Amino acid sequence: MCIRDRIDLTAILNFFASSLGQKILAQPDQVKREVPFSLLLPAGQLFPDLAKVSEDILVHGIIDGFLVTPKDVYLFDYKTDYIQAGNAVKEKQLIERYQGQLNLYAQALVKILKRPVTHKYLYLLRIGKLVELK
């Protein structure tokens, strides 16, 4: 099977039809993708059980993408986890699983851009759903 046969075009089209996708299409020069970062964080911030440890932990990651506008910074991450549409329990678990990851990405982005991240999104490709995280 060719790699192009494995691409879910409907999921991609649904993403670009979303509110975030429309913002990205309107300002493609302001979008950054696959941005690597490194971040030093206190051990206790990552692992509450290590609150008394004075060591830092080096975190490496790659941000799927972000859009910078004059007023806002939109951070987004694509997720391909299997989930059935309408399964609210699994969807909530999936969102909770990745909340911490996006919070780390947002911290790194604040350091990179020297401005706050105003919107954080997960895009659940399997069900075509854009979820804004608080």
- What are the backbone dihedrals phi and psi of residue 92, each rounded to the nearest 5 degrees, phi first? -65, -40
pLDDT in tens, 4-35: 777 778 888 999 999 999 999 999 999 999 99
Q: Which residues contact 115 (CB under 8 A, 6 or more apart)?
A: 73
Assigned token pair, 99:
């909340």
pLDDT in tens, 74-101: 999 999 888 888 888 988 999 999 999 9
Mapped onto helix, strand or coil, the DSSP state of residue 124 is strand
| pTM beyond 0.85, yes or no | yes
pLDDT in tens, 34-59: 999 999 988 888 887 877 878 898 99
